[in-house]
Amino acid sequence: MLSLINGVQKVSLSFLDMNIRSKDLTKEVVLITGGGRGIGRHLAKEFAKQGARKVILWGRTEKCLKETAEEIALSGTECHYFVCDVANREEVYKQAKVVREKVGDVSVLVNNAAVVHGKSLMDSDDDALLKSQHINTLGQFWTTKAFLPRMLELQHGHVVCINSILSQSPIPGVIDYCTSKSSSLAFMESLTLGLLDCPGVGCTTVLPFHTSTEMFQGMRVRFPQLFPPLRPEVVAQRTVEAVRADKAFLYLPWTMHALVILKSFMPQAALEEIHRFSGCYTCMNTFKGR
């Protein structure tokens, strides 16, 4: 019994120690894909706020990238931006080389870029479906392959994925997004396990509930008081805190983890009734996107 108590005390102390000794960001060079707007913009601001040495923005829209970079530069943090479509493998490798030459080695890679088509399978354009998979899933393959080798060489780095609870609890009307995020989650789970024996290099996967950004504009939940959308600045803050604490998986809010656990043992008929009652079957009917 005494040994059990001692064990619990050690675990508790380790958690306290983890919070006390959170990772220092003052030497980190952070690259954020999809960094021009939405969660990406807030992530850039939060990393800068918490002391990152340099912030690098990647995205497809130069206007948004420039606006975000200027805002961060005004706060006193060095910020660079590069137009890059992560769906284009050759462009990723080319721009990664440019980043290394002009800015330096990336020590924190945040895979945030994503798109959503927001239609059923039969109503979806084939090219739009491919675009979702190329950006949301394969884009992470290319960016990680571009920057991870140097992290391993230096024994210092972190790979972050902004995923979605829809990767584990899909809903109708957004089949492209759910599929790509499920693939992305499997990618991160495999990568996280594969890096366990690699000193100094870690992973963080963030799985947020519906977040109030332009990307999911028009989406409506049946009980917004019970399930309010997350604010992007909160997602950004919690993400940076998770990176600093070397937390592998972060559910936002924590109740989403409970939902996943319930799903693992509840019968399908019960899950269907829960989805109907909560409005999951119809929440994308009013979707507009950006």
| Domains, the chain | 23-278 (3.40.50.720)
Q: Kindly tell me if the per-residue pLDDT of 6 is higher than 50.
A: no
Catalytic residue among 81, 93, 177, 251: 177
Work out the pLDDT band at 289, boundaries 50, 70, 90: low
Q: Is 177 labeled as catalytic in the residue annotation?
A: yes
Which residues lie closer than 8 Å to 59 by C-beta, 6 or more apart? 33, 34, 35, 36, 37, 40, 65, 81, 83, 84, 113
Q: Kindly tell me if the per-residue pLDDT of 5 is higher than 60.
A: no
> What pLDDT score was predicted for residue 42?
98
Q: What is the pLDDT of residues 213-255, one digit of tens each?
A: 777 776 677 666 677 888 999 999 999 999 999 999 999 987 7
pTM value is 0.88
Pairing label, strands 249-252, 201-208: parallel
Mean pLDDT for 268-289 is: 75
